[in-house]
Amino acid sequence: MFHRVCIVGTGLIGGSFGLALKKQGLAREIVGVARRESTLRESLAIGACDAATSDVVEAATGADFVFLAPPVGQMKATCQLIAPVVARGALVTDAGSTKAQIVRECEPIFDGRARFVGGHPMAGSEKKGPQAARADLFEGATWILTPTPQTDAAALSQLETLIETLGAKAIHLAPDAHDELLAVTSHLPHVTAAALVHSFLRSKSENPLVSQLVAGGWRDGTRVAAGSPEMWRDISLANRDAIGAALGEMIGELTHLQTTLERRDEAALLRWFEIAAQERQKH
């Protein structure tokens, strides 16, 4: 059990984390941090924290556990602010959707003061804010931890136990491996959804009727494009190389399909759709 938990960013992920800690009785006191007044008010109202403030230094002072869920682009600055004030030896983890840059930048900031372990709970949706938070958000979810040779073994083990208490499954990946794999399973689907919307917009400018013909497949395929533009700008920049490589693969697949269509190769087309359908049905 933690004495004073500080949650930086009490949106969907941070708010759900607060609710889950409370439900499991793992925190004596939780202080939530958010920039917006409305987020602070709502995170208090749903019971995700006991106190809420926009002052991250005040909130982190004396904390023995810090959960960092601010926008990815603010992670480094947040760590610089809190490192001098957390309790000595505090456990610090984050929920950033990219890991290589965050771990490279944040881990050294806590060196000798607190114990940082990079993490990424794979939970969430296109919904935002504490209103969407749920105590069971992490149940059954995969929670990636990205230890390095510098990671404190006891901190890693403590965090892993906590994650499993919340019903999630902890797996370990090197920060770089995390980013390469997530580029394929999360970032590419996101930017592809956004690109589908842009293609649609281009058609709409030529023929507005296209809006009346939106089908279920388009809605499914573009759903995540409704997510936070700031978050996706930050993720794209932080994982630029791996996303660029995944985009290259995707462009290759689409070009291959174009060629197959031009050749009217029925057998190759059928095989291509069959392989995709079989693989999709496994997940």
User: Scanning residues 248 to 267, which ones bind a second copy (CB under 8 A)?
Assistant: 248-251, 253-255, 257-258, 261-262, 264, 266
Binding mask 13-32 for a second copy (x = CB under 8 A): --------------------
Q: Cα separation of 63 and 83, whole Å?
A: 10
Binding mask 171-190 for a second copy (x = CB under 8 A): x-x---x--xxx-xxx-xxx
DSSP state of 208: G
Cβ distance to a second copy smaller for residue 108 or 252: 252
What are the CA-CA distances from residue 244 to residues 134, 183, 219 (Å)? Answer: 34, 9, 25
Cβ distance to a second copy smaller for residue 84 or 244: 244
Strands 142-145 and 119-121: antiparallel
Q: Among the residues of the chain, which ranges form H helices?
A: 12-23, 37-45, 56-60, 75-82, 100-106, 153-165, 175-182, 188-206, 216-222, 229-238, 240-262, 266-281
Q: Which of 105, 98, 94 is nearest to 66 (CA)?
A: 94
In whole angstroms, the minimum distance from the beta carbon of 258 to a second copy comes to 5
- For a second copy, the binding residue among 71, 104, 105, 272 (CB under 8 A) is 272
Binding mask 124-163 for a second copy (x = CB under 8 A): xx----------------x-x-------------------
**Residue 17 near residue 153, CB atoms below 8 Å:** no
Under the criterion CB under 8 A, does residue 223 sit at the interface with a second copy? yes
**Residue 129 near residue 11, CB atoms below 8 Å:** yes
Cβ distance to a second copy smaller for residue 104 or 128: 128
Q: From 10-18, 64-72, 111-119, 202-210, give the range in contact with a second copy by CB under 8 A.
A: 202-210
Under the criterion CB under 8 A, does residue 201 sit at the interface with a second copy? yes
Q: Cα separation of 7 and 159, whole Å?
A: 15
Question: How large is the greatest C-alpha to C-alpha distance in the chain, in angstroms?
Answer: 68
- For a second copy, the binding residue among 70, 96, 119, 227 (CB under 8 A) is 227
48-107 residues in contact with a second copy (CB under 8 A) are: none
In whole angstroms, the minimum distance from the beta carbon of 12 to a second copy comes to 12
Under the criterion CB under 8 A, does residue 280 sit at the interface with a second copy? yes
**Cα Rg of the chain (Å, integer):** 21
Q: From 11-19, 38-46, 49-57, 225-233, give the range in contact with a second copy by CB under 8 A.
A: 225-233
In whole angstroms, the minimum distance from the beta carbon of 241 to a second copy comes to 9
Strands 91-94 and 115-117: parallel
Cβ distance to a second copy smaller for residue 3 or 263: 263
Query: Residue 106, Cβ neighbours under 10 Å: how many?
Result: 21
